[in-house]
Amino acid sequence: MVKNTKTDKYEVVIGYSSTNANSVYIPVEVENVNREVDRPISFSAEYFKEILSANKGADEFKFVVSDQGISHTQVKGGDYSIDYYLAEVQTDV
């Protein structure tokens, strides 16, 4: 997740790199920012894609990122709730 300096809003970026090649920017609503993150925090796009694909019919996605490099995705739909955790991966940016 990065803050877009032009819009002053946050975006989840899939395929983030310093050259913007093949990157997808998804605008997100941010409920609470405890502190500014001064660096990109990267997670496996493959695993994140699998989370989204497996839950494409869900009613609600909540994505939380800690500045220590852990993401928590909570998915709710109908009568179920699932929690996923991903650890930061190192990138070459």
Residue with tokens 């019919």: 57
Q: Would 53 be classed as within a structural domain?
A: yes
Q: What is the per-residue pLDDT for 9?
A: 85
Q: What is the separation of C-alpha 34 from the centre of its chain, rounded to a whole number of angstroms? A: 16
Q: What is the per-residue pLDDT for 42?
A: 82
Instruction: Let me know: does 57 contact 50? Beta carbons within 8 Å.
Output: no
Q: What is the per-residue pLDDT for 26?
A: 81
Q: Structurally, how many domains does the chain consist of? A: 1
Q: Would 8 be classed as within a structural domain?
A: yes
State which residues form the domain around 44: 2-31+40-87
Q: Would 46 be classed as within a structural domain?
A: yes
Q: Would 20 be classed as within a structural domain?
A: yes
Say which CATH number the domain at 9 has.
3.10.150
Question: Per residue of the chain (93 residues), what is the pLDDT tens digit?
Answer: 677 889 888 887 776 666 656 777 788 877 766 666 667 788 888 898 899 999 999 999 998 888 888 999 999 999 999 999 999 988 665
The predicted model scores a pTM of 0.72
Q: Would 93 be classed as within a structural domain?
A: no
Q: What is the per-residue pLDDT for 21?
A: 67
